[in-house]
Homo-oligomer: A and B are copies of this chain.
Amino acid sequence: MKVAVIGSTGYGSAELIRILEQHPHVEIGALISSSRAGEELSAAFPHLSHLAIDLEEWDAGRIAERAEAAFFAAPAGVSSRFLPELAEQGVSVVDLAGDFRLRAGEYKEWYGKEPAPEKWCNQAVYGLSEWMGDQIRQARVIANPGCYPTAALLILLPLLRTGAAVQGPLVIDAKSGMSGAGRALKPGSLFCEVNENLFPYKVGSHQHTPEIERYAGEIGGQPIPITFTPQIVPMNRGILTFVYAPAASGWTTKKLREMLADTYAGHPFVRLRSEGEWPRTKQVQGSNFCDIQAQVDSRTGMIVAAAAIDNLMKGAAGQAVQNLNLMMGWPETAGLQLHPVYP
């Protein structure tokens, strides 16, 4: 099956191409980049100089002729304008941006942009693969989750669904490697400004906050305000997220871990670490795994729970392909049997 990638010069696209190139059921049909159309892919990504592919202009009709599915890997605000045209021509679409994840009002408030058409927002299925599999299998448009929400929800949802976490001030402290910031030119993204540095940003105002809250409510069953603090760590890839919440009565570390094991039985990409062993970002680097762990701090009665992912894989391109697999009825792991790159 042929697929297209729209917005083909960012890190998420490079990762999509890396996966698709060795996916058993897929072939790249078109790479679209408005800003660099006409150039070779290798002008944007010299590491892919062995692939002779040209970047092309956006043209929904031509894409639809040459691809049955497409990934939007463009910045926020692009897919809301262009995706419907492609979807209407029968192309199955996975959108890696935030345009179809929020209700219109929230999108406007947190992204400061015009929301996508309501009809398509309603049709889009939130692509948190492990929790939305049934809906994803039926879907034609997938709103692929953000990198922070993926890690946060995979560890948070079981706590909410089972009532392990008491409603209350729920804290999410998350740290990401720098590729999450994309390839845009900003003074604060220079090597010397990030290397040997650790810093928070958008404290209390990150656009992934309403996304976590919305699906904590819709999937987890508990609409709950979340204090969310993202931070940048001097590395390329990886997210490590801690969730802190008061434990409900009767919940012990043992019970928590059993519940997590049950929840993710049959889900090959979620690995519950052994007791006492905590997720490390390097252990999932380059792979689609999400490693998780949780304990009850018996001194304080708090649940301490963590998840680690590669932000470009399970946090973006990997989960996007996992969702395509589900939509197409292929094995969930097709093209994703990439083991972590270590060290």
Tell me whether A337 is interfacial, beta carbon within 8 Å.
yes
With a cutoff of 8 Å between Cβ atoms, the chain B residues found around residue A297 in the complex are 204, 227
Q: Smallest Cβ distance from A245 to chain B, in angstroms? A: 8
Q: Is the CB of B236 within 8 A of A196?
A: yes
Given contacts A185-B185, A286-B286, contact A195 B240 (CB under 8 A): no
Question: Residue on B with the closest CB to A178?
Answer: B191
With a cutoff of 8 Å between Cβ atoms, the chain B residues found around residue A169 in the complex are 168-169, 244, 246, 300-302
Stretch in contact with the other chain, from A31-39, A86-94, A256-264, A270-278: A270-278
Q: Is the CB of A278 within 8 A of B235?
A: no
With a cutoff of 8 Å between Cβ atoms, the chain B residues found around residue A265 in the complex are none
Q: Is the CB of A300 within 8 A of B226?
A: yes
With a cutoff of 8 Å between Cβ atoms, the chain B residues found around residue A268 in the complex are 50
CB-contact partner of A192 in B11, B199, B244, under 8 A:
B11
Stretch in contact with the other chain, from A41-49, A64-72, A130-138: A41-49
Q: Smallest Cβ distance from A294 to chain B, in angstroms? A: 10
Q: Is the CB of B47 within 8 A of A283?
A: yes
Chain B CB within 10 Å, residue with most, of A277, A281, A283, A343: A343
CB-contact partner of A234 in B18, B45, B233, B283, under 8 A:
B233
Q: Is the CB of A341 within 8 A of B342?
A: no
Tell me whether A314 is interfacial, beta carbon within 8 Å.
no
With a cutoff of 8 Å between Cβ atoms, the chain B residues found around residue A179 in the complex are 192, 343
Tell me whether A17 is interfacial, beta carbon within 8 Å.
yes
Q: Is the CB of B11 within 8 A of A199?
A: no
Type the 1/0 row for A225-266, where 1 means its CB is closer than 8 Å to any CB of B. Answer: 111010101111110101010100000000000000000000
Q: Is the CB of A22 within 8 A of B338?
A: yes
Q: Is the CB of B192 within 8 A of A190?
A: no
A185 to B194 CA separation, bound complex (whole angstroms): 14
Q: Is the CB of A306 within 8 A of B173?
A: no
Q: Is the CB of A236 within 8 A of B183?
A: no
Given contacts A178-B192, A191-B189, A342-B47, contact A233 B236 (CB under 8 A): no
Given contacts A47-B284, A192-B343, A199-B240, contact A234 B234 (CB under 8 A): yes
Q: Is the CB of B340 within 8 A of A48?
A: yes
Type the 1/0 row for A14-41, where 1 means its CB is closer than 8 Å to any CB of B. Answer: 1001100110000000000000000000
**Which A residues, 276 to 312, have Cβ-Cβ distances below 8 Å to chain B?**
277-287, 289, 295, 297, 299-302, 304, 306, 308
CB-contact partner of A242 in B14, B50, B173, B308, under 8 A:
B173
Tell me whether A221 is interfacial, beta carbon within 8 Å.
no
**What are 7 A-B pairs at a CB distance below 8 A?**
A22-B337, A171-B302, A197-B281, A198-B280, A199-B278, A227-B297, A229-B304
